[in-house]
Amino acid sequence: MEINSDVASAPGGSESTCRMQPPGRVVAVGDIHGNFEGWVQILRFADLIDHKGSWVGGNTTLVMTGDVVGRGGYPKRIYLWLRRLMREAGNAGGRVEFLLGNHEAMSMHHIHSYTTVEEYRDFAPPSELDQGALRSTLIALPSPSGGDAQRTSAMFDMARMQEEPLGWLEFRRAMAPTGMVGRWLVKRPTLFIAGKTLFVHGGLHPRYSVWKPEELNSRIQREMMRYQPYFELDARSPALAEDGPHWYRIAMRKSQEVLKAELEETLGNWEIDRMVVGHTPTFLIDARSPGQVLSLAGGRLFCIDVGIGRAYGARLAALELTPDGNATAIYPDHRQKL
């Protein structure tokens, strides 16, 4: 399976810049982990799409903080919808931005520890007969790595693929940096700043704020573009580091005082006011607030991974930021000012 790339040059489909001054409100949605139906519900009760799935958000900016893939569901159809909504929002004066999460980074480089059979099938051709023909054809193709037998074996094990579930091969091909999904993903930023708010998947450690946002995005992008297994990438890169933007759990096991001090340094270096993160389910940060958007450190940090994926309970919520600086959590049946 290969996702059509005809939106690559359309409005909203081209390579992203990592800063903007939003013309209207900003809506942020955390890790959805393949829960297509839940994500569509969120877009509807946030007044971003109509009953047909078309963009009606006007000049709203929608920010997705990563991790569409992993732990089940239908990532293919979500990526397809995202690319269409990017085009429609751009035509309406709005914007849709998707940030890389750690699960995108792993899947692009063939770490499938969290990928389910359901996800593979979402990328599969219509029938097993079609997939069998495709596999037979691919065996005869030249190595994508130019003949390095050891690396080819690690990236594209032809013998093993005959034993894997339907869609396994298509998923690997599509998600790789040279694949149809992967080529789109490597153009997506890791960091995005809207006005005075930073959006990032895991969080930003102070030591990375010594770089400019554009430079940090470029460093990570260069690493993600490499056609190598994940653990052969540069472990010193912020793309892989445990405290890097894809992996950092900024709010875990910290007092409010420590968190405030860290945010003062990080946000101060970039002259911004607040940070919005996904990655860590909010029930792990505060067990008393499952499924809730959290506002921490006096409103300087918002944690929005509420557990949208079905593996986490399919809890639905989004964060809305308005031009006047107000923050509101949006739930299916109510709104809560933060």
pLDDT digits 0-9 by tens, 254-292: 999 999 999 999 999 999 999 999 999 999 999 998 999
Using a 10 angstrom Cβ sphere, with 0-12 exposed, 13-18 middle and 19 or more buried, the burial of residue 278 is buried
Whole-angstrom distance, CA of residue 174 vs CA of residue 1: 7
Residue 11 pLDDT > 50: no
pLDDT band at 8 (very low <50, low <70, confident <90, very high): very low
pLDDT score recorded for residue 151: 45
All structural domains of the chain, each given as residue ranges with its CATH number in brackets, are: 19-113+176-337 (3.60.21.10), 125-165 (no CATH)
pLDDT score recorded for residue 91: 97
Greater model confidence, 187 or 135: 187
pLDDT band at 136 (very low <50, low <70, confident <90, very high): low
Residue 306 pLDDT > 90: yes
Quick one: angle between helices 75-91 and 36-45, nearest 10? 30
pLDDT digits 0-9 by tens, 222-263: 988 887 777 677 777 898 899 999 999 999 989 999 999 999
pLDDT digits 0-9 by tens, 91-102: 999 999 999 999
pTM: 0.86
Using a 10 angstrom Cβ sphere, with 0-12 exposed, 13-18 middle and 19 or more buried, the burial of residue 198 is buried
pLDDT digits 0-9 by tens, 43-65: 999 999 999 999 999 999 999 99
For every residue of 288-299, which 3-state class applies, written as one string?
CCCCCCEEECCC
CA distances from 50 to 58, 243, 329 (A): 12, 39, 20
Residue with tokens 């290969």: 2
User: Mean pLDDT of all residues in the chain?
Assistant: 86
